[in-house]
Amino acid sequence: MSVVEFENVTVDYGATVAVADVTLRVESGEWVGVLGPNGAGKSSLLRTVVAGPLTQGEVRVDDEVIHEAAVRRRARLAAYVPQRPVFPKGMSVFDYVLLGRTSHMGPLAAESATDIRIVWDSLASLDLVDFAERDVSSLSGGETQRVSMARVIAQRAPVLVLDEATAALDVARQHQVLELIDEVRRDNEITVVSAMHDLTAAAQFCDTVGVMDKGRLRGVGAPNDVLTEDLLREVFEPTVRVIDVDGSRVIVSMRDKERR
């Protein structure tokens, strides 16, 4: 388990400032959801944990400064799943999950028996053993999510950075994937930092949420404290309503009554 610290993180692409002076501490084993409208800077903030562009400030995993660490070391500290992962045509599921072991092999070495065993274990933990020889580009949406998570598990990094892993899924499938991430997190004692669009799901799955707007962090804390109508209306739009269901926040955007 590992602590992730963002300290005065600024990402400036020249024309636009994507992230402006964000300071945030993610505790060990915690799931932090980064929320906010499109273009708020969520992805840019997340990318800094895996040595993406950084203009100012520092990102640390267990006191190790990410942008100063060697590339293999970084891969052992944090695993990353982008919004749209690349699933190369013709690559077997086994070989794809084996990619997660890259940072554990010598630069020119082949995989060891341990790497092979870890890949089989990762596949087994997600019920993917029968898929080992399948073409990774031929799988369904839900299957590819599991394959992604298998690669993350094989990488054995204590931190997982997820950039909107569920963006393309229907409501039930999304719920399943989030449960899967939570399971993987608990079983492997992983700290999760994820960008999310679905505020209601974030309220249920995240220990802590951070709301971003125009590159700035507008609020951080427990979902029920942060996801208030006042803040969300300011950041998203005035039509946002927050409803309490069984002690959890449900966030919807309601159409104006007169226009219905």
Partner 1 sequence: MNAGRPASTHLKWWWLAGALGLLIAAVVAAALVGPFPLSPGSVVRSGLDRLPFIDLGTGLSDREEAILWQIRMPRIMLGVLVGSMLSVAGSAYQGVFRNPLADPYLLGAGAGAGLGATLAIAYGPETTNWIVDPLPLAAFVGAIVGVLLAYLLGYSVRSGRTAVTLILAGVAVAAFLTAAQTFIQQRQSDTLREVYGWILGSLATAGWGEVRLVLPYVVVSIVVVLAGRRLMDVLAVGDVEASTLGIEPGKVRMVLVAFATLGTAAVVAVSGLIGFVGIIVPHTVRLLTGASYRIIVPLSILLGGAFLVLADVIARTVQSPAEVPIGVVTAFVGAPFFAVVLRTSRGVVS
| Rounded CA separation 232/239 (Å) | 9
Q: Does 82 bind partner 1 (CB under 8 A)?
A: yes
Size of the site for partner 1 (CB under 8 A): 40
| The one segment of 55-63, 67-75, 173-181, 250-258 that binds partner 1 by CB under 8 A | 67-75
Strands (E), 46-187: 56-61, 64-65, 78-81, 159-163
In terms of Cβ atoms closer than 10 Å to its own Cβ (0-12, 13-18, 19+), residue 176 is middle
Q: Does 120 bind partner 1 (CB under 8 A)?
A: yes
Q: Does 156 bind partner 1 (CB under 8 A)?
A: no
Q: What are phi and psi of 198, to 5 degrees?
A: -80, 105
Closest C-alpha to 148, from 128, 171, 172: 128
Q: Does 204 bind partner 1 (CB under 8 A)?
A: no
Cβ proximity of 92 and 134 under 8 Å = yes
Q: Does 48 bind partner 1 (CB under 8 A)?
A: no
Q: Does 89 bind partner 1 (CB under 8 A)?
A: yes
* 4: β partners: 26, 61
Cβ proximity of 198 and 166 under 8 Å = yes
Q: Does 117 bind partner 1 (CB under 8 A)?
A: yes
Cβ proximity of 8 and 170 under 8 Å = no
| The one segment of 4-12, 15-23, 82-90, 180-188 that binds partner 1 by CB under 8 A | 82-90
Interstrand relation of 191-195 and 31-35 (parallel, antiparallel or unpaired)? parallel
Which is nearer to partner 1, 113 or 172 (by Cβ)? 113
Q: Does 167 bind partner 1 (CB under 8 A)?
A: no
Choose, by CB under 8 A, the member of 86, 168, 171, 243 that binds partner 1. 86
Q: What are phi and psi of 91, to 5 degrees?
A: -85, 135
Which is nearer to partner 1, 47 or 185 (by Cβ)? 47
Q: Does 172 bind partner 1 (CB under 8 A)?
A: no
Token pair 């054995």 is found at 156
Choose, by CB under 8 A, the member of 3, 17, 91, 231 that binds partner 1. 91
Choose, by CB under 8 A, the member of 3, 17, 99, 169 that binds partner 1. 99
Binding residues for partner 1, rule: CB under 8 A, are: 50-51, 71-72, 74-76, 78-80, 82, 85-92, 94-95, 99-100, 102-103, 105, 107-108, 110-111, 113, 116-117, 120, 124, 129, 132-133, 135, 155
